[in-house]
Chains A and B, each alone.
Chain A
Amino acid sequence: MTTLQDPPVAVEASAAKAPRRFHALIGFGLAAVVLFALAPVALGDFRLGLLAKYLCLAIVAVGIGLAWGRGGMLTLGQGVFFGLGGYAMAMHLKLADAGPGELPDFMQLYGQLDALPWWWKPFANPAFALAATVLLPMLVAFLLGLLIFRRRVRGAYFAILSQALCAALAIFLIGQQGTTGGTNGLTDIQGFFGYDLNDPINRRMIYFIVAAALLAVLGVAWQLMRSRFGELLVAVRDGEERVRFLGYDPANVKLVAYVVAAGMAGLAGALFVPAVGIISPAMIGVVPSIEFVIGVAVGGRASLIGPALGAIAVAWAKTALSEKLPSAWTYFEGLLFILPVVFLPGGLASLAMYLRRRRSTSTEVTS
Chain B
Amino acid sequence: MTKEELKDKVLNLSQGMLTYSDSGVFDLMFEVKPENLTKAAVLLRDHEELRFDFMNNITGVDTGEHFEVVYSLASLSNKTRLDFKVVLPYEGAKLESLCEVWKAANWHEREIWELYGIDFTGHPNLTRFLLPDDWDQGHPMRKDWDAPDFVRMPEL
A binds B: no
Which residues of B approach A to under 8 Å, CB–CB?
none
Which residues of A approach B to under 8 Å, CB–CB?
none
